[in-house]
Amino acid sequence: MGDSLMDGVTSIMLLPDDCLCFIFNFLDCRTDRESFGLTCHRWLNIQNLNRRSLQFPCSFGIVGPSSLSQSCTDINSFHLYRILARFQQLEYLSLSGCVEILDSALSYLKPYGSKLQTLCLDCCFKISDYGISLVGDGCPFLTTISLYRCSITDAGLEALANACLALRHVNLAYCPCISDSGLRALSQGCRELQAVKISNCRGVSGVGLRGCSSTLVYIDAECCNLEPEGIMSIVSGGGLKFLNIASLSCSNFRNGLEAIGNGFAARLKILNLRMCRSVTDASIVAIAKGCPQLQEWNLALCHEVRVLGWASIGSNCHNLKKLHVNRCRNLCHQGLQALRDGCKELSVLYMSRNSRISDTALELFKLYRCNVEIKAEEVMSIGPNWDGIDYDEST
């Protein structure tokens, strides 16, 4: 290299690999990064070693810079082996929607996937408990896993919990074969858990989360068969900030939600009770008093909330910014007045098809609270993304 420089010959090809890696990491444009790898085999190898994320077009998400191409292919075991052998520094891998992938393919994670932190296997219907055990063996530093609509059981969850102690974000939505036993293994084995999605897991009552870590700040349990004891278990960690228990399937829940306001959920900021039709004033009063940090509360289609409940929200929810009351049959002008006179931080009120609210009551609310935006839209989902949650002890 020295002789070449003395002869006046300089070339970027003479730069060592670490310098080329430095240059590559400064390329923001996907096209530039792909062009870099097309220069020569050496530069292609540098590109491969610097790839940190990979998502296939068949994954359920927006195709971005981490995707290989624009065409969707059925990824099989051979493809996965070639991919992992080529990109050995991957930290994020999404195989979501790769419906032909088998358990045996995940065995390649052991020699090549040790640096993975995020793995998405949504709708990988042929992955079983054995495949999940292979994930545990090959990815000891995994922090995020999504198993939406996978056919795993409690045995798979136990294997995962025993091997991946650093797990923080887990998506088990629409996994019909899991129960409280698997949740118990997960919550007790992974003490850094921050977010868990168990929506539409009909075999879950909630008791599996009893004694969960205080780091658990996000739980999505929509359309679950939760029991009153399960609600107590869900909030038992004391760190919860987001809770979605919309569309409770249990019929014996008249005052079962009072547990949310018993002091363990004092840090709760977002609560979704949409379509909890049997929730009573007693539960609303307990929550309004016991969750002083609430900023958004969805009570759409909660027909049993009456004047006493609305008055308690107005009197106690001093930090509430967004409130959803769409189609609440027993929200009358007195309840609306209680909200109008209280909730000083309220900025948005989602309200539509409230048959007991007169035009006069609505106009009076607008007159006295002109700073509150009234929206007619009915929002089905509220809160942050499950995999973007971070535990912060100070908030």
Tokens, residue 267: 């840090």
Average pLDDT over the chain, rounded to an integer: 89
- Long-range contacts from 314-317, C-beta under 8 angstroms, 24+ separation: 314/338, 314/339, 314/340, 314/341, 314/342, 314/343, 315/288, 315/342, 316/288, 316/289, 316/292, 316/342, 317/288, 317/292, 317/342, 317/343
> What is the rounded CA–CA span in Å between residue 145 and residue 266?
28
> What is the rounded CA–CA span in Å between residue 221 and residue 380?
14
pLDDT in tens, 314-335: 999 999 999 999 999 999 999 9
pLDDT in tens, 110-132: 999 999 999 999 999 999 999 99
Q: Taking Cα atoms as reference points, which of 122, 228, 213 lies closest to residue 167?
A: 213
Which of the four pLDDT bands, split at 50, 70 and 90, describes residue 62? very low
> Quick check: is 390 in a domain?
no
pLDDT of 321 reads: 98
Q: Taking Cα atoms as reference points, which of 39, 59, 141 lies closest to residue 101?
A: 59
Looking at residues 6-32, what average pLDDT do you find? 72
317 against 31, higher pLDDT:
317
261 against 33, higher pLDDT:
261
> Are the C-beta atoms of residues 336 and 309 closer than 8 Å to each other?
no
> Quick check: is 52 in a domain?
no
> Quick check: is 37 in a domain?
yes
> Quick check: is 359 in a domain?
no
Q: For residue 8, is pLDDT > 70?
A: no
pLDDT of 310 reads: 98
pLDDT of 138 reads: 96
390 against 198, higher pLDDT:
198
> Quick check: is 39 in a domain?
yes
| Percent of the residues in the chain that have a pLDDT greater than 70, as a whole number | 90
Q: For residue 65, is pLDDT > 60?
A: no
pLDDT of 48 reads: 72
Q: For residue 190, is pLDDT > 60?
A: yes
Looking at residues 192-215, what average pLDDT do you find? 97
> What is the rounded CA–CA span in Å between residue 371 and residue 54?
45
Q: For residue 378, is pLDDT > 80?
A: yes
> Quick check: is 373 in a domain?
no
pLDDT of 16 reads: 78
Looking at residues 308-313, what average pLDDT do you find? 98
Q: Taking Cα atoms as reference points, which of 104, 112, 168 lies closest to residue 138?
A: 112
> Quick check: is 362 in a domain?
no
Total length of the chain: 395
> Quick check: is 225 in a domain?
no
Looking at residues 190-212, what average pLDDT do you find? 97
pLDDT of 110 reads: 93
pLDDT in tens, 294-306: 999 999 999 999 9
pLDDT of 252 reads: 58
Which of the four pLDDT bands, split at 50, 70 and 90, describes residue 345? very high
pLDDT of 279 reads: 92
pLDDT of 157 reads: 97
> What is the rounded CA–CA span in Å between residue 371 and residue 369?
5
User: What is the domain range of residue 32?
Assistant: 17-46
Q: How many CB atoms within 10 Å of residue 309?
A: 26
pLDDT in tens, 212-260: 999 999 999 999 999 999 999 999 999 999 999 999 865 556 677 999 9
Question: How many structural domains is the chain composed of?
Answer: 1
pLDDT in tens, 144-178: 999 999 999 999 999 999 999 999 999 999 999 99
